[in-house]
Structure 1
């Protein structure tokens, strides 16, 4: 395929490369790249087969998400995960997702409940196999799908978009909790069941409480693992 055959303009191509670089670096960070790790422009560019321009742009985006810090002496490094950051993110999510859960419960039908029931079975199955990154991915995907079935019923697209933005910001912390395989993990699964039960019974207040409790679980478990 020649350049003129491509279905995108040059500007679109640059944006696509930048996004791929951004997602690649971000994925490494949220999956446990050590805080303080230096993110040098040239080595990353060489590894990914790109110029330093999209790497620089990607690091700027990651700085805005508090995943990267930049200093004159060290350049870009992986930011430390902190309690304050987690608590702030979860506070915003609690308001957004609690509201979406309450609205969604009032709008769901039996078909949505049936889909949620199938997803809940996957959550229970995946929760027994969290020893590898692949199973963590599968569990997290199932948990988000369960919640999204309920949130989408609210019909509030802007609300759903905001939820996804802050969900991504919390991913680093959620993965930290899931990787640690704590004995209290069963509590998280029980809370997912409680959310489903609230949906079955069309109980908006209980659904909101369940979502808030799920988010608080991540704070409670991660808190002793994080710095201030």
Structure 2
């Protein structure tokens, strides 16, 4: 059943903004599968909106590298390769390390306190999953997102939060939530916050880079295991 267009409008954004957010979420969590064709008539009918805002939203999805458009083929949801995923990890290691260093220099005390409360929430959620899952919600409920925003560098935040962030989440959703690193990852997050709280930018950067590097190696092992089992 179509969703009325007014459901996509509010004081905080246009119809294009809202449909972009809805489609991006659907792609990231796998509701729209990798490789799926993006059909303007189907989506316009499904969401009860005109083609103009929908085209704008699709263009923004292309700019976010979540959708690829080819001549005579049309727009499709991207299908990332394992090589592209590891490239994302390499970029994240460098840029998020920088973000952690800047956060140690610029993040307000209140922001650091909020970050500690967020980790308390994560700890409770991970414990409920028997320490076998550490899957964070989007935006302000995501530890890495919060650190990047705390860096105070808008250009850095734009690169990480409007492009790489959603690509990385897309892969995490596809791989599933189970992990043998939940307890260790949470501890690594806590050490990073300690360094930021101590205003030790050099240590915060080193800890963040190490954290992402360890995650990359765990992902490489998982990819290798998936290949062996395929």
Match of 1:6 in 2: none
Match of 1:210 in 2: 207
**More displaced 10-residue stretch of structure 1: 64-73 or 17-26:** 64-73
Give per-residue Cα distances to partners, 1:161-218, cap 9 Å, x unaligned.
44423424433234445x3312223222121122123234433222112222333344
Q: How does 1:42-191 map to 2 (within 5 A)?
A: 42-72=41-71, 74-107=73-106, 111-129=110-128, 136-137=136-137, 141-144=141-144, 147-148=147-148, 152=150, 154-165=151-162, 166-176=164-174, 179-191=176-188
C-alpha RMSD over aligned residues? 3.4
SS of 1:127 mapped into structure 2? helix
For residues 110 and 42 of structure 2, the distance between their equivalents in structure 1, rounded to whole angstroms, comes to 50
Segments of 5+ residues of structure 2 without an aligned counterpart are 1-10
- TM-score under structure 1 normalisation? 0.72
Segments of 5+ residues of structure 1 without an aligned counterpart are 1-12
SS of 1:77 mapped into structure 2? strand
Give per-residue Cα distances to partners, 1:31-68, cap 9 Å, x unaligned.
12322222211111100111223323322322233222
Query: Is contact 2:40–2:51 with CA below 8 Å preserved after alignment?
Result: yes
Pair 95,36 (structure 1): closer, same or farther in 2 beyond 3 Å: same
Pair 110,29 (structure 1): closer, same or farther in 2 beyond 3 Å: closer
